[in-house]
Homo-oligomer: A and B are copies of this chain.
Amino acid sequence: MNQLLKTLTYNEDGLIPAIAQQHDTGEVLMLAWMNAASIEETLQTGQVCYYSRSRQTLWRKGETSGQVQKLIDFRIDCDSDSLLLLVDQTGVACHTGRRSCFYTAIRDGEPTEIAAPLISSEDLYGHNHS
């Protein structure tokens, strides 16, 4: 484990980008960041843990919303500077209530929403977690 964590190339903030992909459908759900501690926790627990750049702390995906990601496979790219996590996503990955964060596409040169929320933010996070 320690050997693995050392072979990865982190940026100047100690982070590495991680793509989360639904393992069976192939849908790309989100891109987030991990540090060595979050990678270690993810591999040990089998539940995906990122590093939140805005909150500057470990981000146990789904801890508040319940929309957890079970790790199915952990992959590393040829330069060891990005990760691909095959996951089983409970519910939605996006904080907007959409399955994927990539719900905006360019249509006729303009950003256009191509997916609607499946659940409201209120239902996702509740009144106690606003």
Contacts and interface: CB of A to CB of B under 8 A. Distances in A.
21 contacts: A1-B109, A4-B109, A19-B19, A19-B28, A25-B26, A26-B26, A26-B27, A28-B28, A30-B77, A31-B82, A43-B109, A73-B105, A75-B103, A75-B114, A76-B106, A76-B111, A78-B95, A78-B101, A78-B103, A78-B104, A84-B102
Protomer copies? 2
Contacts of A114: 75
A114 to B, nearest CB: 8
Nearest to A81: B31
Given A75-B105, A104-B76, A111-B76, A84 B4 contact: no
Interface in A1-51: 1, 4, 7, 17, 19, 21, 25-28, 30-31, 43
Interface of A: 1, 4, 7, 17, 19, 21, 25-28, 30-31, 43, 73-79, 82, 84, 94-96, 98, 101-106, 109-111, 114
A47 to B, nearest CB: 15
A34 B68 CA distance: 30
